Amino acid sequence: MAKPDAGPVEIELKLRLPPGSHAALEQVPALSAHPAERRREVTRYFDTRDRVLFANGFVLRVRVRGNRRIQTLKSAPSDGGVAPARGEWEWPVEHDEPDVALLASTPARKIATTLDGRLEAVFLTDIQRSTRQLALDGDTHVEVALDEGTIEAGAAREPVDELELELKSGTLGPLYRLAIELHESAPMWLAPESKSARGYRLSDGTAPRAPHAPKLRLDAAIRANEAFRAIVASGLDQILGNVAAAEAAEPEGIHQLRIGLRRVRSALVLFAPLLEPDPSALFARELKRLGQIFGARRDRDVFCLETLHDAARDLGTSWIDRLRPPAEACRAAANDPVQEALHGAGLTSLALGLAAWCEDGIAHPSHLGHKRMGRRLATVAPDLLDRMARKVAGRAKRADTPERLHGLRKSLKKLRYSTEFVAGLYGKKAMKRYRKRCEALQELLGTINDARVTPRLADEMLGARGTELAPAFAQLAAWSAGQERRALSQLEDALGKFRRTEPFW
């Protein structure tokens, strides 16, 4: 687990709870056997009017707990996954406003000198907190906090109902096992967006962010089991980091969450020869199921926001615009399964199970599968990448039907993600050339796939109105066929360039 460069570290896992479920959760034996400390905490978060602290990855707050006041500075997470680590610095203070001078010993010292007289309270949280200290196996100590209350920014309010598991000492494995036990006992879902991030959104009226995949920087000496954990954590970070945007039905959030699912699937495929096949197959099956749910919504987003726009640009809007109302209705209906997937047991079970499996594989590489998982990644990566490349090459030779082209596209995506995972082990120039060829071929295959999917989606979306809108359907189908022909005319050249590109590994 990577940690911030300096200062104390907070490692925390957050789960969102349905309203009113706290009392039932406290009766779960894992919690009820331990005494709870209950208290009210009112916390004010401070920043400048132009949000200079937040823009630089810092959160500054003063918490009132009884007669005590505690000033805290937190930094952005240094890595992602299910239980991210972030820097945390705390001081007792006398007043409700922060003491800027205390930041001089933190990474925020460079901007601290600009804060005098500029800080203002941005929002507050008013929380009833119930905490328990649990001693788990392996000398691991975890603080379990149940929070219920509100985030308040002016007249705006947002409820808080969540469970936090903070690692105080020891390793993450027992913490994940505790989270799995609690998740089996009560409905909850991973929603790692912090109270501070929610508070800033509430105050500024902004939509949830849709983060892309974080950059992986694997050390040349990293072992395969450590690399596997880092790669999976990166994918989980992208998945969980887009939960809030997907909840808000933001198209880019759904898109990025789906990419995160694909990246984790690609990691399982890349390391498949070294992984225990049964758990790997279980995870792959659930990733595929969830991918289909988010994919159905993504396909409809693309149809409504991109395909119809491009077709109207090329053909004119008179008939194409008539397709929009039924298409938008079908798109909206596809959001219900997305929300069920976000708040159901499957996504959280997947993330917790993967995180626990990877963590167990650090202490015991053989628990992941082959003993070669304990070797350096640089030693095993060429064989793993060769296997991925051979599959793409084989499918490229037989890419003469729609189904085979689609299979080539899927294998090429997995190869591209895999090369990105291990790019840090190799020279940038060679990697960049290979990735450019991958992306060019993948883009063409994507255009062909979208063109073939468009008539099917249109037929599904039109439903009972299909006959009255048949002229519009005919125009769209002809336009899609033209897009496909143009892409197919360039395919052989792109395939040739890809075949002639030397693997960088």
Structure-model confidence comparison of residues 64 and 78, the more confident one: 64
In terms of domains, do 297 and 185 share one? no
pLDDT for position 7: 63
Mean pLDDT value of segment 270-293: 97
At 432-458, the pLDDT tens digits run 889 999 999 999 999 999 999 999 999
Domains in the chain, number: 2
Does residue 217 belong to any structural domain of this protein? no
C-alpha 242/C-alpha 253 separation (Å) is 5
In terms of domains, do 202 and 290 share one? no
Does residue 154 belong to any structural domain of this protein? yes
In terms of domains, do 183 and 314 share one? no
In terms of domains, do 199 and 317 share one? no
Mean pLDDT value of segment 90-113: 95
pLDDT band (50, 70, 90) for residue 62: very high
pLDDT for position 3: 42
C-alpha 412/C-alpha 392 separation (Å) is 6
C-alpha 4/C-alpha 2 separation (Å) is 7
Mean pLDDT of the chain: 93
- Torsion over CA of 262, 267, 271 and 276, rounded to 10 degrees? -80
pLDDT for position 19: 87
C-alpha 352/C-alpha 350 separation (Å) is 6
Would you give the DSSP letter of residue 71? E
Please tell me whether residue 148 adopts helix, strand or coil conformation.
Answer: strand
Mean pLDDT value of segment 343-355: 96
pTM of this structure: 0.93
In terms of domains, do 266 and 120 share one? no
Domain containing 77 equals 9-206
Mean pLDDT value of segment 96-122: 94
Please tell me whether residue 443 adopts helix, strand or coil conformation.
Answer: helix
In terms of domains, do 201 and 260 share one? no
Distances (CA, A) of 369 to 218, 366, 375: 21, 5, 12
Give the burial class of 445: count Cβ atoms within 10 A of its Cβ; 0-12 exposed, 13-18 middle, 19 or more buried.
buried
Share of the chain above pLDDT 90, in %: 85
Lowest-confidence range among 36-45, 208-217, 248-257?
Answer: 208-217
| 87 bridge partner residues | 9
CATH number of the domain encompassing residue 263: 1.40.20.10
Residue 264 has pLDDT above 50, yes or no: yes
Residues in CB range of 286: below 8 A, 6 or more apart: 346, 349, 350
In terms of domains, do 140 and 288 share one? no
Does residue 150 belong to any structural domain of this protein? yes
Identify residue 242 by its one-letter amino acid code: N
- Torsion over CA of 312, 314, 316 and 321, rounded to 10 degrees? -10
CB 238 within 8 A of CB 213: yes
Residue 5 has pLDDT above 60, yes or no: no
In terms of domains, do 317 and 189 share one? no
pLDDT band (50, 70, 90) for residue 2: very low
Does residue 422 belong to any structural domain of this protein? yes
pLDDT for position 317: 79
Q: Rounded to 5 degrees, what are φ and ψ at 217?
A: -125, 85
pLDDT for position 140: 95
From 137, 171, 206, the end of a domain falls on 206
pLDDT band (50, 70, 90) for residue 81: confident
pLDDT for position 148: 96
Identify residue 499 by its one-letter amino acid code: R
pLDDT band (50, 70, 90) for residue 428: confident
Residue 17 has pLDDT above 80, yes or no: yes
Mean pLDDT value of segment 490-496: 94
CB 421 within 8 A of CB 216: yes
In terms of domains, do 17 and 120 share one? yes
The number of CA neighbours under 13 Å toward the Cβ of 178 is: 29
In terms of domains, do 178 and 298 share one? no
Distances (CA, A) of 364 to 85, 361, 368: 22, 5, 8
CA proximity to 362, closest of 178, 195, 224, 255: 224
In terms of domains, do 329 and 468 share one? yes
Distances (CA, A) of 326 to 250, 331, 332, 388: 20, 9, 10, 41
CA dihedral sign of residues 426, 432, 437, 443:
positive
C-alpha 208/C-alpha 193 separation (Å) is 9
From 191, 206, 221, the end of a domain falls on 206
Does residue 219 belong to any structural domain of this protein? no
| Centroid of chain to Cα 155 | 31
At 206-236, the pLDDT tens digits run 999 999 998 888 999 999 999 999 999 999 9
In terms of domains, do 195 and 337 share one? no
Does residue 454 belong to any structural domain of this protein? yes
CB 244 within 8 A of CB 191: yes
Does residue 235 belong to any structural domain of this protein? no
At 114-141, the pLDDT tens digits run 998 899 999 999 999 999 999 998 799 9
CATH number of the domain encompassing residue 200: 2.40.320.10
Would you give the DSSP letter of residue 275? B
| Centroid of chain to Cα 256 | 7
CA proximity to 399, closest of 321, 499, 466: 499
From 206, 223, 245, the end of a domain falls on 206
At 368-400, the pLDDT tens digits run 999 999 999 999 999 999 999 999 999 999 988
Does residue 165 belong to any structural domain of this protein? yes
Residue 321 has pLDDT above 80, yes or no: yes
Mean pLDDT is highest, among 195-199, 315-319, 460-464, for 195-199
Residues in CB range of 165: below 8 A, 6 or more apart: 12, 13, 15, 83, 142, 143, 144, 145, 175, 178, 179
